[in-house]
Amino acid sequence: MKRIFYFFIAILIFISTSFTVNDGWVPLLDSKLSKWDTYLSFRHKNGYKGDMPVDSKGRPEKPVGYNNDKTGVFTIDKNSREPVLHVSGEIYGCLYTKQSFKNYHLKLMVKWGDKKWVPRLNEPKDSGIIYHSDGPAGADYWRSWMLGQELQVMEGGCGDYWCIASSAGYITTKKTPAKKDTMVYDPAGTKTFMGAGNNFVQQSHNYEKPGNGWNTLELICFGDKSLHILNGHVVMALSGSSYKDGNVYKPLTSGKLQIQSEAAEVYYKNIYIKPIKALPAVYAAYFK
């Protein structure tokens, strides 16, 4: 009986550890962060309004820049047996993939640390995954990230959508009595253009695990469509992904992945990606 028991355990271990090969999943994290580069901007202060930060003499400050993370904002946690990304949040910026991706399924796990930094000491902990990222870093309001579409990672708001820089698209939304100025994703809502002033849509429901456990986020992108999935639940669907180039909107359907540092300590692990040849049929109804 013991031999049979251990045989089945071995089979389960094999199944759980071999999916990266058999199912096409590719890991994006390793002990050296070899598949990523970094960009750090500024230690933003209270009262920031989007203007270029200046020093005590009123001169424009220079951002920390590319691959100059001497503070250790993005590191691999040395106390973990598996690669776990630690984002200190101390300086605004991003860890971004060296490779660009198109038509894919991304999976990862996330949980919060304890620290927060100015200017978000009194705000929910915040980070995010920016996809279809293109161009130079620093193109956004915070002068910290590339153009792209954001799957927000925030306490109480995992799966929210943000336009970053000039990105745009369509989301079916509704407004709620509790937050009259906030649009909420609703598959049965009104098709709404995002961009040109409409920059944020709240997720349909909060499916985050209580007690700061590890949450599983998924991002499915195919063509001009994307889905934000939290712990198995679709909480956002975007179509017509685009960006504004001058006075013209152009398709935005591929690019690098960015992980934000945004004044909060956060951990990521089990970051995997695989190419897909079609939008899974189970999700087609979200785009009718």
User: pLDDT tens digits, residue range 92-125?
Assistant: 999 999 999 999 999 999 999 999 999 999 999 9
| 25-287 to CATH, choices 1.10.260.40, 3.90.1310.10, 2.30.180.10, 2.60.120.560 | 2.60.120.560
User: Can you name the residues that pair with 7 across neighbouring β-strands?
Assistant: none
In whole angstroms, what is the distance from residue 173 CA to residue 170 CA? Answer: 9
* Rounded average pLDDT over 234-252: 97
Mean pLDDT value of segment 39-49: 96
pLDDT at 218: 98
- Over the stretch 61-87, which tens digit does the pLDDT of each residue have? 999 999 999 999 999 998 889 999 999
Handedness of CA 206, 209, 214, 220 (dihedral sign): negative
pLDDT of residue 61: 96
Q: Is the per-residue pLDDT at 286 higher than 90? A: yes
Between 12 and 123, residue with greater pLDDT: 123
Q: What is the average pLDDT across 30-56?
A: 96
pLDDT for res 22? 57
Domain boundaries, the chain: 25-287
What does the pLDDT look like over 126-185, one tens digit per residue?
999 999 999 999 999 999 999 999 999 999 999 999 999 999 999 999 987 777 789 999
Q: Categorize the per-residue pLDDT at 9 as very low, low, confident or very high, splitting at 50, 70 and 90.
A: very low
